[in-house]
């Protein structure tokens, strides 16, 4: 499977890593390692995370309050957002068509 990122999602990851490194040296690096590990899990097992909508899943990132929101496409995993779990949970929906659809049962 190929991996790609929406530009805002990539920026969210980089900003979070920078912010944590500013707070405490090395903390952002820990976040980065956990993001890499989570993405590896997604690539190995695309259906590992619960659905947020019919075509978006969210995998939590270790001990940090973030989730990786992604779509599984035919030959691609698309990272849609790197969502802080204590902030507006709906902000990412405007990034992709059909994201407002409830999860399939």
59-81: per-residue pLDDT in tens? Answer: 999 899 999 999 999 899 999 99
| pLDDT for position 105 | 47
Residue 64 Cα distances to 3, 14, 97, 104, angstroms: 22, 14, 28, 28
The count of other CB atoms within 10 Å of the CB of residue 58 is 20
Least confident of 7-11, 53-57, 58-62: 53-57
Classify residue 101 by its DSSP letter: S
DSSP conformation letters of 57-98: EEEE-TTSSEEEEEEE-SSEEEEEEEEETTS-TTGGGGGSTT
| pLDDT for position 96 | 76
What superfamily would CATH give domain 2-86?
RelE-like (3.30.2310.20)
Domain ranges of the chain: 2-86
């Amino acid at each position: 499977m190929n991996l790609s990122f929406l530009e805002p999602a990539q920026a969210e990851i980089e900003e979070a890593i920078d912010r944590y490194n500013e707070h405490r040296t090395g903390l952002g690096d820990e976040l980065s390692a956990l993001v890499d590990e989570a993405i590896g899990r997604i690539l190995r097992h695309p259906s590992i995370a619960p659905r947020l909508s019919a075509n978006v899943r969210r995998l939590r990132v270790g001990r940090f309050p973030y989730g990786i929101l992604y779509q599984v496409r035919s030959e691609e995993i698309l990272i849609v957002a790197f969502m802080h779990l204590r902030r507006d949970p709906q902000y990412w929906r405007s990034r992709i068509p059909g994201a407002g659809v409830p999860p399939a049962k």
